Amino acid sequence: METKWIKMLEEEPDLEAIKEAGRIIKNGGLVAFPTETVYGLGGDGLNKEASRKIYAAKGRPSDNPLIIHIADLADLEKLVKEIPPKAKKLADAFWPGPLTMIFEKSEQVPFETTGGLATVAVRYPNHPVALVFIKESGGFVAAPSANTSGRPSPTLGTHVYEDLKGRIEMLLDSGEVGIGIESTIVDMTVEPPMILRPGFITEEMLKEVLGHIDVDKTTKERLEGVAPKAPGMKYRHYAPKGELTIISGKSEHVREAINKLLIEAKEKGLRTGVIGTEENIEAYEAHVKMNAGKKQDELTVARRLYSMLREFDEEKVDVIYSEAFSENGMGQAVMNRLLKAAGHKVIQV
Ligand code: TXA
Ligand code: MG
């Protein structure tokens, strides 16, 4: 199939194109669309055939559930058995926005969409194109990130096109997304609610609204024999093709250690890459250098992370060394994704 690639500005959604996209979804087809976090690969969340197509297009294991995206809080009721009072509070505080909540699913939601689970993940995103698109699609768009399984999530329309051209009917492209890593996922079916995947909405922000909240420990470290509660988090996601190692410690020690490793790798004839902060990047001896932004600016690091990882693939880099970043605020989410991309290889200096 040919993929129609439609470009528009985020602040000026192309209504004609989005209406056509909505018709595609209502007919059981697939459309990729921007959200404030990453691009999504959308299909009708209440249509089991559409969900099957999403798994096929992405090459994703079908036990890994999808998130249903809504564009009106009232539509949540149709998807879930009940709305716990705490979920109502979080919705009031953070929706529309980069927060996904897990509920007991209603009968209407097919098991194909939830990967066989009795629970469903729901998100009300905050992006002008996404909101019009979801409404035009009938209100319930199931969408994983629009990458092929195993690759970094797409933060640009071109990333989506690279991965999915010929596998989806249409791509709505409004340029670079604002946040750059996926939404925070909170399981509302347990007491206290539990963070399954860190994101822009941080533990501190959630605590301010709920008082107490648990965090799935596997989001911070790899635990032998303990599977993450969000099925998707068990896969080695977000991975560049080159071997990535994180170097953690005092800034000047990190700089020295990375340069030593880079020189050793070059002596072996390997093509090298580095992810460094603006303060250090000039000093590195790598073939390909990626500037992740200022050390204390975790928002910029988040926005650039997946793009940098893809760039290394394009540059055919064999080994990559990355500085560790601050774990303040969204830094926790950044380090969670970076650790997964590195298969948890960290050198402490
Ligand atoms: O920001 C985002 O959330 C993006 C945009 C497109 O909205 N979507 C996204 O979807 O990241 P995906 O499919 O790449 O990641 C969804 C994660 C997976 O780890 C999946 O296992 C988990 O959510 N998940 C979905 N439904 C779940 C459920 N019922 N219980 C536990 N985890 C669930
Ligand atoms: Mg994903």
Which ligand 1 atom is at minimum distance from the Cα of 199?
Answer: 1
Tell how strand 243-248 and strand 346-348 pair up.
Answer: parallel
- What's the pLDDT score for residue 236? 64
Q: Give the mean pLDDT of 108-136.
A: 98
Which ligand 1 atom is at minimum distance from the Cα of 119?
Answer: 29
pLDDT digits (tens, 9 = 90+) for 240-299: 899 999 999 999 999 999 999 999 999 999 999 999 999 999 999 999 999 999 988 999
pLDDT digits (tens, 9 = 90+) for 172-193: 999 999 999 999 999 999 999 9
pLDDT above 90: residue 222: no
Q: Rounded to two decimals, what is the model's pTM?
A: 0.96
- What's the pLDDT score for residue 237? 64
- What's the pLDDT score for residue 319? 98
Total number of domains in the chain: 2
pLDDT digits (tens, 9 = 90+) for 305-347: 999 999 999 999 999 999 999 888 899 999 999 999 999 999 9
CATH of residue 285: 3.40.50.11030
Amino acid occupying residue 213? I
Which ligand 1 atom is at minimum distance from the Cα of 41?
Answer: 6
d(CA 256, ligand 2 centre) in Å:
34
Asked if the structure places residue 238 within a domain, the reply is no
Same domain, 262 and 120: no
Domain that holds residue 329: 243-348
Asked if the structure places residue 232 within a domain, the reply is no
d(CA 102, ligand 1 centre) in Å:
10
pLDDT digits (tens, 9 = 90+) for 124-155: 999 999 999 999 999 999 999 999 988 899 99
**Of 123, 343, 99, 68, which Cα lies nearest the Cα of 198?**
99
Same domain, 215 and 254: no
Query: Are 180 and 37 contacting, i.e. CB atoms less than 8 angstroms apart?
Result: yes
- Which residues have C-beta atoms less than 6 Å from ligand 1? 35, 37-38, 40, 64-67, 100, 102, 114, 117, 119-121, 123, 125, 143-145, 182-183, 185, 196, 230-233
Residues lying with their CB under 5 A of ligand 2, a single-atom ion = 145
Same domain, 268 and 207: no
- Computed over every residue of the chain, the mean pLDDT equals 95
